[in-house]
Amino acid sequence: MKKTTAPKENAPRNWVVTITLGLTFLLAVTIVPWYGIKFGFSGWAWFFAGLFLLLNGVGIGSGYHRLWSHRAYKARTPLRVFLAVFGGMALQNSILVWCARHRVHHRDVDDNDKDPYSIGRGFWFAHIGWMLRDYDSGQIDYSVVPDLERDPVVAWQHKHYWALVWSSNIGLPVLAGLVTGDVLGMFLLAGVARLVVNHHVTFFVNSLAHCWGKQPYTDENSARDSWLVALLTYGEGWHNYHHMFQNDYRNGVRWWQFDINKWFISCCAWLGLAYDRKRAPRFKILRAKVQMEFKRARERMAQHNGDRKWLEVLEQEYAEFLETARKWQALQMQRVQQGKEALAAGINTRFRELEFALLMQRKRLALLTAQLSV
Question: What residues contact 306, with CB distance under 8 A and at least 6 apart?
Answer: 300, 372
Rounded to the nearest 10 degrees, the angle between the axes of helix 43-58 and helix 77-89 is 120
3-class SS letters over 1-38: CCCCCCCCCCCCECHHHHHHHHHHHHHHHCHHHHHHHH
| Euclidean distance between CA atoms 136 and 114, whole angstroms | 8
Determine how many CB atoms are found less than 10 A away from the CB of residue 159. 12
Strands (E), 137-293: 274-275
For every one of its 374 residues, what pLDDT tens digit does the chain have, with 9 covering 90 and above?
A: 454 455 556 789 999 999 999 999 999 999 999 999 999 999 999 999 999 999 999 999 999 999 999 999 999 999 999 999 999 999 999 999 999 999 999 999 999 999 999 999 999 999 999 999 999 999 999 999 999 999 999 999 999 999 999 999 999 999 999 999 999 999 999 999 999 999 999 999 999 999 999 999 999 999 999 999 999 999 999 999 999 999 999 999 999 999 999 999 999 999 999 999 999 999 999 999 999 988 888 887 777 666 677 778 888 888 888 888 898 888 888 887 776 666 656 777 888 888 898 888 888 888 877 776 65
Domain boundaries, the chain: 15-275, 282-373
Least Cα distance to 135 among 126, 144, 147 occurs for 126
